[in-house]
């Protein structure tokens, strides 16, 4: 890339065009003979790229997919790992290595009896997660007994799923709570039976041996509404205890909790997150 930038700074455009052709498609300083950006600007922190540096890698092009409607699940972005597309449970397991026993019908899956928590075969660290769920209609039970499930990042960090439409419980246990830690900023729940969305940006915790170097962070949109804004987790999910961290590998599976209620899920996908300028 340093080579490319040197060419970009050649004063005679014609020479640079020829050299671009020789060094191949990786040269981004010129686009159809058009010079990109600037080469007389200050360096950004880190000293690798200048402000408006035309040689900086172009972001990957993806198909962004489509949003869901109440009746129709959307289409995932083209670079997502699709964990459930409405057809089968091939990306999931339960109880160790047993095949999942959940029902799949009409484009969704539903916790069945006997059930068991669903665990993804793929593992993830930093990621963007999209999933859709619907709590039972008509609703059954009250408090934590109504439409309870949950999505656990790395199998440990739970975002609560609950029917919180006209159903109060302790705030750090309601729908979209970081269970036992933080209530959502607002209750954006839809009615029982209606499809709801979670869009979660998860940063995995970092460990150095037994030491926590940086905590996990969650930014969460519930039905498109921000309910957690880069919130640092206190630790892994607990019940009636203070959360704490226990060191674990850099990647872990997604888990969907079986809490005994027939929750439905559809359109589940994950994008692994990379840094800037990473291909």
Specify the residue, 76 or 192, whose C-beta has the smaller distance to Mg ion: 192
Specify the residue, 27 or 151, whose C-beta has the smaller distance to Mg ion: 151
Specify the residue, 55 or 220, whose C-beta has the smaller distance to Mg ion: 220
Q: Are 109 and 264 a contacting pair, CB within 8 Å?
A: yes
Residue closest to 83 by CA, chosen among 226, 272, 237: 272
Closest separation in Å from C-beta 158 to Mg ion: 6
Residues that bind Mg ion (CB under 5 A): 148, 150, 160, 257
Closest separation in Å from C-beta 136 to Mg ion: 14
Q: Are 265 and 133 a contacting pair, CB within 8 Å?
A: yes
Residues ≥6 apart with Cβ < 8 Å to 274: none
Residue nearest to Mg ion (CB): 150
Closest separation in Å from C-beta 205 to Mg ion: 21
Specify the residue, 7 or 182, whose C-beta has the smaller distance to Mg ion: 182
Specify the residue, 160 or 203, whose C-beta has the smaller distance to Mg ion: 160
| Neighbour-count burial for 112-136, b at 16+ CB within 10 Å, e otherwise | eeebbbbbbeeebbbbbbbbbbbbb
Q: What are phi and psi of 229, to 5 degrees?
A: -115, 95
Closest separation in Å from C-beta 125 to Mg ion: 23
Closest separation in Å from C-beta 179 to Mg ion: 6
Q: Are 124 and 80 a contacting pair, CB within 8 Å?
A: no
Q: What are phi and psi of 98, to 5 degrees?
A: -70, 145
Strands 196-203 and 157-161, bridge-based pairing? unpaired
Specify the residue, 160 or 196, whose C-beta has the smaller distance to Mg ion: 160
Closest separation in Å from C-beta 149 to Mg ion: 6
């Amino acid at each position: 890339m340093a080579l490319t930038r040197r060419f970009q700074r050649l004063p005679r455009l014609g020479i640079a065009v020829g050299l671009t052709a020789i060094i191949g498609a990786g040269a981004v300083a010129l686009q159809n003979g058009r010079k990109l950006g600037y080469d007389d600007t200050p360096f950004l922190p880190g000293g690798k790229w200048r402000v408006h540096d035309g040689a900086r890698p172009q972001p990957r092009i993806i198909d962004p997919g489509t949003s869901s409607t109440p009746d129709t699940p959307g289409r995932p972005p083209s670079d997502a790992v699709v964990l459930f597309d409405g057809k089968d449970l091939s990306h999931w397991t339960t109880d160790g290595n047993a095949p999942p026993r959940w029902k799949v019908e009409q484009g969704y899956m539903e916790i069945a009896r006997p059930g068991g928590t669903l665990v993804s075969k793929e593992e993830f660290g930093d990621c963007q997660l999209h999933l859709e769920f619907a709590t039972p209609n008509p609703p059954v039970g009250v408090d934590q007994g109504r439409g309870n499930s949950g999505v656990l990042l790395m199998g440990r960090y739970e975002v609560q799923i609950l029917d919180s439409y006209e159903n109060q419980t302790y705030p750090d246990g309601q729908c979209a709570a970081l269970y036992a830690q933080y209530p959502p900023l607002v209750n954006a729940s839809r009615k029982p039976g209606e499809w709801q969305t979670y869009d979660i940006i998860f940063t995995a915790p970092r460990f150095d041996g037994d030491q926590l170097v940086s905590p996990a962070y969650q930014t969460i949109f519930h039905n498109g509404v921000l309910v957690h804004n880069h919130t640092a987790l206190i630790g892994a999910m607990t019940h009636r205890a203070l959360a704490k961290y226990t060191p674990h590998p850099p990647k872990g599976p997604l888990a969907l909790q079986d809490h005994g209620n027939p929750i439905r899920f559809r359109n589940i996908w994950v994008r692994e997150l990379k840094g800037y300028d990473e291909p």
